[in-house]
Structure 1
Amino acid sequence: MTKINHIKTLRNHEDISINKIAQRAQVNWRTAKKYADEDQVPQEKQVMRKGMMYEDHWGEMVTDWLIEDQKLKPKLRRRNKTIFQELQTHGFTGSYRTVSYFIAEWKEGKGNSDDVKDKNSERLNHPPAEAQVDFGITEAVKDGKFIDVHCLIMSLPYSNAAFTIPLPGENQECFLYGLKKSFELLGGVPRKLRIDNLKAAVIKARNKDGEAIFTDEFLQFANFYRFEIQACNVRKGNEKGHVENKVGYVRYNFVTPSPVIESYEDLTTILSEKLAQDRQRIHYAKEVRIQELLDEELNHALALPDEDYPIFKETKVTANKYGEITIDSMKEHIPKGYNFSYLHLILYWDRYKVVSPYGEILHSDFRPYMNKNRNIPWLSIMRAWASKPRSVPYSRYNPYLPGRIAAYLSIEPLTLRKERLHWLINLLIQYDMEEVNDKFYDLLQQQSERTFDSTSHPYDVDWSKYDLLQPGAQEDGEQRV
């Protein structure tokens, strides 16, 4: 550039001919002419795509196939390997990697760089004492059956800590109760709480015409605890990406396989202990224990109120002529319910009560969804075990077996274990697992009478004495199951 500037100066300011400029600058005449009389305007560098996919017709051919396949269902579309093999039939001599790179680039921009959407994410700032909440669904085993568990997870991105409250649903009572218990486990209240468009909290989602509109109950709850609500945009899960990741983290690390529980409170205790242990690990970026960061974060949190906040929902209902009202889409019979023109229904997260217009409690019970469960598919499980009896002690379903059945199948000889599995399979065609466990001695006696004298079998056991050996057995020898 210095020499070009020298040539320009000789030509423009000293009016020297091209020949003399070439001599003085010691350059070719054509070079002197170019830089002396032509303007050197900066130009953007054009990146040209090179390679056989762009210079020959192969890229055009693949593009046509990709556009053609877009009209079909994903499972009917050609994969990269299929496209590569078809190209080879047309004389293509390139590599599979070359084709794969081209396809990936085409899919990234859909063949037109002007249509490429900016996929960069804005880096979110996470000050202390700001939380995100979301629900995640998992399952547990209660009373020998599967139940769906809706875990309300509150995460704190600054420290990477999380708190989980297992609940039977995602209604307003469960949501507010879960938040309340999360604050108590934290020992404080986050200053800001980010949520998505949960029906339990949001009436109208945030859009271009205005901010989100929240339910009166949620606003009253937020005013009591003094936290600020931050609503996410519609279909923008990345705005609360930390809790989205925590949902999967809790599910795969702490509730898989499904734990055996006695109640939702029991599962809350189990998860609280596991998450407390998890907070002893080092933060992935700050190289400090998560618990230490959480302790620091608590200094910025709001204090818990001195008064307790009651979580309930009260509505007026009318009983039909059978004395029934609808709770959680289920008909519930209320004694003397039809005697009154209306009733007060008070819903808590786990229970309900029905009160007459005069203040008399007519009925109180668990909400119907507390008893909602699914049978464990024992018949198919037993059939799989029968083909591989060695796997019984190590199966994920083994902890779910009732005590008598588990002991019955714990015998070491695999041949005898297989026989017992086939016997249980035949019973499960007629009874469910609870009935088999309850009638275990009677069914076993019937089996013995049909086959052989039970005292003559070397592996036979007096199962009536088995219950006496179990912890918590009653004086009459019956097991508490």
Structure 2
Amino acid sequence: MPVVDYIRHLRDEEDLSINEIAKKTGHNWRTVKKYADGEGFEETLKLTKRGMMYEEGFGEIVDDWLEEDMKLKRKERRTNKKIYEDLRDNHSFKGSYRTVCEYIQNRKPQLKAAKIERHERLEHPPGEAQVDFGNMTVVKDGAYKDIKALILSFPHSNTGFGYPLPSENTECFLEGLKQLFHQAGGVPTYLRIDNLSAAVVSIGKGDQRTYTEAFLKFKYHYGFEVQPCNPASGHEKGNVEKKVGYTRNNLFTTAPVMESFPQLANWMKEEMEKDRQRLHYEKNVLIDELWEEDKKYLRALPLTDLSIYSVESATVNKYGEIEVDGDKFVIHKAKMKQTLVLKMEWDQFTCFTSDGEIVYREARPYMNKTRAIPWNDILIDWEKKPRSVRYSRFFKYLPDRVQTYLTIRPEETKSRVKGVRKLLEKHTLNDIHSALDAEERFERAPHELGYILEAKEATYPEKLNEVHTPKILLDYETDLHTYDKRLCPSLEGGVS
């Protein structure tokens, strides 16, 4: 356009001829004539013919065949050659095999993408909820622990609730649902779930499902309706899927410190209540305000809670053991080949005899499973960058006294980090924490802490009780002056 504007200027304002403008600008005479004396500069949109696949409807036929084939196993699908032959023989197609191949190459990725995105947009009425598990990581007693967070979301308001659990079994799932209903203050009218084994035994046609007896009992007690998802159709509960990811990214990106499951549950509840003070992603209204509308449609909680447990049996083997969740436990009060009744709760199990006597109670094995934090690698990094220790994401996982010991003297942080790494070859962080129980020990060098730890671990034989000496002689002190007088009577008072 600047060139056209310049040509117009030369023609109209400076009154130059076409030949003069052509010489001055260096453009062809016909080009100058067109723009100097032309009426306008509208360009017509040139549409290229797309070919018979688009213009004559053959593409629609191929699209239908491709979509049909997507539902079949790969070896049962039509080849490009077969599609071409069917078009030629049955639909009077006059084009070439190459035309068909180019069309299929272009359309197949588009159809696959459309299939993924072709989900019906549902309007969720108030009171309906979705539930799903998510994998999270916390730190307990200085080690990583993998937990399951059961997330309950209400799509109408985008309100979410969460409860931490050690596993995805039936007892954990139902206990978590019960606690989430209490957090929400009511029971959702409809609950959408996927086909998790804790609730579903088998899948039939359409909405037909065979549910576990425990889940049906729970459902009838709390009075909600179930909306099952189709297999491999996570988009049907997309709200809770996103809520699981949102919870992981906002609460568990840096693993929180966990003291116990109740403590972690209270922390999650508080954090998710704070999250309601933001605007809904579409409705531009506070989530908390929309939640008030959701709450009006919730069903009331039953007057009594349902006790969540399952009953199993186990036979004591010849070593006096039973197996629970894949681990073996010795039952001292039981006899060999005795059958015990096990009451399985989400966090513990109890063993009963046939007479109802409790002979054993223990936490379920998964309650104590952890993964070690790679402290050696972390301390090596801290040794290279001692100023980063206080700001590291792992710093808060150290015991309190160890945190203080590493940072109380910034100029010694590097040497202390190196020393603690050496101590961890023989001792644990909790041992080092105990060794720092006296305030003056924060001034000690790491190798001095090592001496203290070794002295604590040293064992000495206990003093034996001697029973043969008469009581009158116990703690008797000998007077040596008596012996002196006997030995040297001439010396008054004896020798000192």
- For residue 156 of structure 2, what is the aligned residue in structure 1? 158
Which residue pairs with 1:48 in the alignment? 50
Task: Tell me the residue number matched to 1:435.
Answer: 431
Partner of 2:447: 447
Gaps of 5+ in 1: 1-44, 50-104, 452-481
2:234 — aligned with what? 237
Whole-angstrom CA distance in 2 between matches of 1:270 and 1:117: 40
- Deviation of 1:132 (Å): 0.5
Secondary structure, counterpart of 2:362 in structure 1? strand
- Residue 127 of structure 2 corresponds to 129
Task: Show the counterpart of 1:268.
Answer: 265
- Alignment of 1:142 with 2:144, yes or no, is no
Equivalent residue number for residue 213 of structure 1 = 210
Report how far residue 418 of structure 1 moved: 0.6
* Contact 2:149 2:164 (8 Å CA) reproduced: yes
Q: How has the CA–CA distance of structure 1 residues 294 and 438 changed in structure 2, closer, same or farther, with 3 Å as cutoff? A: same
What corresponds to 1:461 in structure 2? none
Alpha-carbon distance change, 47 to 227 in structure 1, aligned in 2, over 3 angstroms: farther
Offset at 1:291? 1.4
Aligned equivalent of 1:317: 314
When residues 354 and 109 of structure 1 are mapped into structure 2, their CA distance, relative to the original with a 3 A threshold, is: same
Residue matched to 1:285: 282
- Note if contact 2:127-2:295 (Cα within 8 Å) is conserved in structure 1: yes
- Mapping of residues 36-435 of structure 1, within 5 Å: 48=50, 109-110=107-108, 117=115, 119-207=117-205, 211-338=208-335, 341-414=338-411, 416-435=412-431
Q: Identity rate of aligned residues, in percent?
A: 43
What is the CA–CA distance in structure 2 between the aligned matches of 1:406 and 1:295, rounded to whole Å?
44
8 A contact 1:134–1:195 mirrored in 2: yes
> CA 1:400 to 1:449, structure 2 compared with 1: closer, same or farther past 3 Å?
closer
SS of structure 2 residue aligned to 1:197: coil
Question: CA separation in 1, counterparts of 2:148 and 2:389?
Answer: 30
Q: Is the 8 A contact 1:188 1:301 kept in 2?
A: yes
Aligned-partner Cα distance in 1 for 2:113–2:409:
66
Superposed CA RMSD in Å reads 2.7
SS at match of 1:260: coil
Deviation at 1:118, TM superposition (A): 7.0
Secondary structure of the residue aligned to 1:315 is strand
- Is the CA contact (8 Å cut-off) linking 1:108 and 1:116 kept in structure 2? no
Shift in Å at residue 111 of structure 1? 7.0
- Which AA in structure 2 matches 1:447? H
- What is the alpha-carbon distance in structure 1 between the residues aligned to residue 373 and residue 335 of structure 2? 39
Q: Which amino acid aligns with 1:199?
A: S
Preserved CA contact (<8 Å) 1:402 1:437: yes
Contact 2:139 2:257 (C-alpha < 8 Å) held by counterparts: yes
CA distance in 2, matches of 1:113, 1:155: 32
Quote the offset at 1:339 in angstroms: 5.1
When residues 128 and 326 of structure 1 are mapped into structure 2, their CA distance, relative to the original with a 3 A threshold, is same
Q: What amino acid does structure 2 have at the position aligned with 1:310? A: S
Could you list the runs of 5+ residues in structure 2 that have no partner in the other structure? 1-46, 52-102, 452-496
For normalisation by structure 2, the TM-score amounts to: 0.66
> How far apart in 2 are the matches of 1:107 and 1:412?
67
Task: Give the 3 Å change call, closer, same or farther, for CA 211–394 of structure 1 in structure 2.
Answer: same
Query: Deviation at 1:407?
Result: 0.7
Evaluate the alpha carbon distance shift between residue 193 and residue 46 of structure 1 in structure 2; reply closer, same or farther with a 3 A threshold. Answer: farther
Amino acid corresponding to residue 127 of structure 2 in structure 1: A
Calculate the TM-score normalised by the size of structure 1.
Answer: 0.68
1:328 Cα deviation after fit: 1.4
Contact 1:146 1:373 in 2 (8 A): yes
CA contact (8 A) 1:207 1:234 kept: no
Give the 3-state SS of the residue equivalent to 1:134 in structure 2: strand
Alignment check: 8 A CA contact 1:340 1:357 kept = no
Deviations 1:374-393 (A, max 9, x none): 11111110001001111000
* Inter-CA distance 426–289: structure 2 relative to 1 (3 Å threshold): same
Following the alignment from structure 1 to structure 2, what is the Cα–Cα distance between the partners of residues 48 and 225? 61
Answer yes or no: is the 8 Å Cα contact 1:344–1:355 preserved in 2. Answer: yes
Kept after mapping to 2: 8 A contact 1:166/1:267: yes
Rounded Cα–Cα distance in structure 1 between residues aligned with 2:107 and 2:122:
26
Instruction: Give 3-state SS (helix, strand or coil) of 1:258's partner.
Output: coil
2:390 aligned counterpart, secondary structure? helix
Hey, what's the Cα distance between the residues in 2 that align with 1:131 and 1:384? 46
Provide the C-alpha distance between the structure 2 equivalents of 1:382 and 1:450, rounded to a whole number of angstroms: 17
Q: CA deviation at 1:115?
A: 11
Deviation at 1:424, TM superposition (A): 1.3
Q: Is the 8 A contact 2:423 2:450 kept in 1?
A: no
Give the Cα separation in 1 of the matches to 2:126 and 2:401.
Answer: 52
Deviation at 1:436, TM superposition (A): 3.1
What is the identity, as a one-letter code, of the residue corresponding to 1:429? E
Q: How many residues align?
A: 350
Q: Deviations over 1:146-197 (max 9, x none)?
A: 1111000000000100110100000000000000000000000001111111
